[in-house]
Amino acid sequence: MPVNSVLIDTLTQIILSLNEQERQLLMHQLQDPHPTDPQSLQQKIEIGAQQLQNGEYTEYTDETLSELLGKIRSRGQNRLSQT
């Protein structure tokens, strides 16, 4: 399977844009997914990979990437405020 360097670069930018608290939440989610969640992290990854193969994704440009990062940050902050 070829490496999608654009995806890797985008994920790197997203992770680097997170503050310390958001990074800790991300690490917690990656290390300990919610056991009550009906789909495991592996299942979610498989679903995402299938969606990519089917063309079910959104491509972002330099102009629209900052909007995406803002939305991700906002969702993370909302989740943090709920815990």
Q: Which residue has the higher pLDDT, 30 or 38?
A: 30
Boundaries of domain holding 73: 5-54+61-82
Number of domains into which the chain is organized: 1
Please give the average per-residue pLDDT across 26-54, as a whole number: 78
What is the distance between the alpha carbons of residues 65 and 20, in angstroms, rounded to a whole number? Answer: 21
Asked if residue 18 lies in contact with residue 76, where contact means CB atoms within 8 angstroms, the answer is yes
Check whether 40 has a pLDDT greater than 60: yes
Check whether 35 has a pLDDT greater than 60: no
Question: What secondary structure letter does DSSP report for 9?
Answer: H
Check whether 67 has a pLDDT greater than 70: yes
Please give the average per-residue pLDDT across 73-80, as a whole number: 86
What is the distance between the alpha carbons of residues 68 and 38, in angstroms, rounded to a whole number? Answer: 27
- Digit-coded pLDDT (tens) for 1-23: 677 788 888 888 888 888 888 88
